[in-house]
Chain A
Amino acid sequence: MAGTPFSNLFGQSPIRPIQEHIALAHECAEQLLPFIQATIQGDWDGASEIHQKISDLEHAADKAKTDLRAHLPNSLMMPVDRGDLLVMVTRQDEIANLTKDVAGLMIGRKMQIPQEIADMMIRYVELATETSAQAVKAVNEMDELLELGFKGRILDVVAELIQELNRLEHENDEMQIQVRARLFELEAGLPPVDVIFLYKVIEWVGELADAAQSAGGKLQLLIAH
């Protein structure tokens, strides 16, 4: 027996799955820093090992995303808006996707980050990872939000987490401007094709932080439902 009519009333709550999904996406993003460090040191064996790990984690996140979507038929009554939830998962998934894109591009072209911007680049990636870690923190409040029926003092806690998330993303933005400016000073002396792709890497890392911010920020939309 597949359950009784009464027990069929209860669907699978999307909250734990969405938390597990962002955890996977962030675990993937966390690999980016050691990856960049390895490339800077010219350790291509280490880098491709990490690249493999990133690829696996991105795949796992993708699968989690598909599962989550499959369990969200529109006949569900949820405390949060289904559409917002789906957008949130998409944004979360971009964290993993962009990580994989950056690592894939750099491995493929054996890209070397110029020593002059290496430290800035490391700080830049660190900030992006911190932004994604903060998004995880915010999304992890969802079970407590549910416990409280998306009401009450927990909203202040979430608001603070989101504020910090916005601050980190902004800091990451500022860093992006600085890295670009420094690269612009150097670009005349570098192979032009390399420069084009360096800009691409910088852009994607910024988008990663942006995706993390927007995923965490969706939480406020979910609460407002």
Chain B
Amino acid sequence: MEIIAEHGHVLLILGCIFAFFMAWGIGANDVANAMGTSVGSRALTIKQAIIIAVIFEFAGAYLAGGEVTSTIRKGILDPALITDKPDLLVFGMMAALLAAGTWLLIASMKGWPVSTTHSIVGALVGFAAVGISVDAVNWGKVGTIVASWVVSPVLAGTISYALFISVQKLVLDTDNPFKNAKRYVPMYMFFVGFMIAMVTLIKGLKNTALNIDFGLGSTFLNSMPIAAVAGLVVALIGGWMLSRVKEHGESEEQNRFANVENLFAILMIFTAAAMAFAHGSNDVANAVGPLAAIASVIGSGGEIASKSALPGWILVLGGAGIVVGLATYGFKVMATIGRKITELTPSRGFAAELGAATTVVFASTWGLPISTTHTLVGAVLGVGLARGIGALNLKVVGNIFMSWVVTLPAGAGFAILFFFLFKGIFS
């Protein structure tokens, strides 16, 4: 208790710096992965991608990020076992942030496909199990999270496979693909709008005064009509954008699908927004969750409150970190990715993005921290299985698997190290 009272401000400032560092890392690397597909298929310029990323990352974090944040903050550790040791929780969360941030920095310099989520979860489990006690870890929840890491890429792959097959049937393999694209692409846009609106209504607005009740029995059913209207609005805007695209005459160089791909490029603007929203709803929590835990302990003068609202300034700090990360380094990464992913045409890129975004958003509403990048890899492989992509490097899948094996103990090891370091310095 004295430690909190004595060093409270210093600890909070340090926590903010570490969280900002972590958010910077997410903005510098992770967001670029999420948006790179749109840049690579030339649906968006880098500038446009950054603007969309900033808006929708924020929206996603703010409107749908609460569940994952609370998992990171108090779901992985059993709060009942640490109520009498608030200082240890503060040190542990700081250690976890610094550990994950450090490991990510090392990994991205080496080009390893590690995930922010896996790093922070590894770090949390590490400091809790070693620094406090093995029982302090909520192993049931951790088991669910680890299972979701396996399920999420598979689910995303299945969705994107189905989406691509539907595009083949409805648009590409028809007499007039251009006409059919104009007819059916708004349907996918509707789905994007509907999905984001549903998640926002169910998760984001539940604490606000806005109470929607059509007498349909559940929040889910009550949200449906409004989400449908939102989807319709999105589809109408999209339809208007599509109507401005004219069919160009066939040239020798391009195949006859070049015109159709131009229409799917418009769809990719929408799926990129969905992707940024999904990413914001899941990954911002990795930086914000531990800081929220620190702030809540210090704010209450040493109490470990199991129920307290997430202060808005923490989200803003996380969001700002991501934006700074994007602006200082992420745009470079995005350009690199954009140059490399030119084989992914919009009719496939959208399927991959939408499959991944849907999966991530669902995971977010369940409070499951998953890896956006790994989910996206799963989604791309799904399109590949539908024979839609020229060549995919399966070595990357092996590398991802290896990075799982390494990241969890590495994150844990760093966290344990920093935990005892902080403990030694401050107490």
| A interface list, Cβ under 8 A from B | 1-15, 75-80, 143-144, 146-154
- Count how many pairs of residues, one from A and one from B, have CB atoms less than 8 Å apart in the complex: 127
Interface centre among A5, A75, A148 (most CB of B within 10 A): A5
Contact between chains at B396 and A5 (CB < 8 Å): yes
Supply 4 further A-B pairs (C-beta < 8 A) apart from A13-B389, A13-B390, A78-B392: A3-B336, A10-B343, A78-B390, A152-B172
* A contact residues around B400 at 8 Å (CB): 5
Residue in A8, A14, A147, A153 whose beta carbon sits within 8 Å of that of B393 in the complex: A8
Contact between chains at B168 and A4 (CB < 8 Å): no
Shortest distance between the CB of A222 and any CB in chain B (Å): 10
The closest CB in chain A to the CB of B338 belongs to A7
Contact between chains at A10 and B387 (CB < 8 Å): no
Residue in B164, B347, B377, B386 whose beta carbon sits within 8 Å of that of A9 in the complex: B377
The closest CB in chain A to the CB of B173 belongs to A152
Q: How far is the CA of A12 from the CA of B400 in the complex (A)?
A: 20
* B contact residues around A8 at 8 Å (CB): 111, 113, 340, 393, 395-396
* B contact residues around A14 at 8 Å (CB): 390-391
Q: Decide if B394 is an interface residue (CB 8 Å cutoff).
A: yes
The closest CB in chain A to the CB of B392 belongs to A77
Contact between chains at B390 and A9 (CB < 8 Å): no
Residue in B111, B164, B386 whose beta carbon sits within 8 Å of that of A1 in the complex: B111
Stretch at the interface among B28-36, B294-302, B305-313: B28-36
The closest CB in chain A to the CB of B347 belongs to A147
Contact between chains at B394 and A76 (CB < 8 Å): yes
Contact between chains at B255 and A144 (CB < 8 Å): yes
Q: Decide if B240 is an interface residue (CB 8 Å cutoff).
A: no
Residue in A6, A78, A150 whose beta carbon sits within 8 Å of that of B337 in the complex: A6
Contact between chains at B164 and A149 (CB < 8 Å): yes
Given contact pairs A75-B395, A152-B168, A7 touches B341 in the complex (Cβ within 8 A):
yes
Shortest distance between the CB of A148 and any CB in chain B (Å): 5
Q: How far is the CA of A63 from the CA of B196 in the complex (A)?
A: 51
Q: Decide if B369 is an interface residue (CB 8 Å cutoff).
A: no
Contact between chains at B336 and A78 (CB < 8 Å): no
Given contact pairs A2-B111, A77-B381, A7 touches B388 in the complex (Cβ within 8 A):
no
Q: How far is the CA of A146 from the CA of B386 in the complex (A)?
A: 10
Contact between chains at B344 and A79 (CB < 8 Å): no
| B interface list, Cβ under 8 A from A | 29, 32-33, 36, 40, 108, 111-114, 164-165, 168, 172-173, 255-257, 333, 336-337, 340-341, 343-345, 347, 373, 376-377, 380-381, 384, 386-396, 398-400, 403
State the 3 A-B residue pairs at the shortest beta-carbon distance, nearest first. Answer: A13-B390, A5-B113, A152-B173
Contact between chains at A150 and B173 (CB < 8 Å): no
* A contact residues around B111 at 8 Å (CB): 1-5, 8
Given contact pairs A3-B340, A5-B113, A152-B168, A144 touches B391 in the complex (Cβ within 8 A):
no
Contact between chains at A7 and B387 (CB < 8 Å): no
Can you give 10 contacting A-B residue pairs, CB < 8 Å?
A1-B111, A3-B111, A3-B337, A4-B32, A7-B337, A7-B340, A10-B391, A13-B389, A79-B388, A151-B168
Contact between chains at A11 and B392 (CB < 8 Å): yes
* B contact residues around A75 at 8 Å (CB): 393-395, 398
The closest CB in chain A to the CB of B260 belongs to A147
* B contact residues around A154 at 8 Å (CB): 173
The closest CB in chain B to the CB of A82 belongs to B391
Q: How far is the CA of A80 from the CA of B337 in the complex (A)?
A: 25
Shortest distance between the CB of A180 and any CB in chain B (Å): 39
The closest CB in chain A to the CB of B373 belongs to A6
Shortest distance between the CB of A189 and any CB in chain B (Å): 50
Contact between chains at A79 and B389 (CB < 8 Å): yes
Interface centre among A147, A148, A152, A154 (most CB of B within 10 A): A147
Contact between chains at A4 and B173 (CB < 8 Å): no
Q: How far is the CA of A79 from the CA of B381 in the complex (A)?
A: 11
Contact between chains at B394 and A148 (CB < 8 Å): no
* A contact residues around B32 at 8 Å (CB): 4
* B contact residues around A6 at 8 Å (CB): 33, 36, 113, 337, 373, 376-377, 396
Contact between chains at B393 and A76 (CB < 8 Å): yes
* B contact residues around A9 at 8 Å (CB): 377, 380, 392-393, 396
Given contact pairs A4-B337, A5-B399, A9-B380, A146 touches B390 in the complex (Cβ within 8 A):
yes
* B contact residues around A143 at 8 Å (CB): 255
Shortest distance between the CB of A112 and any CB in chain B (Å): 40
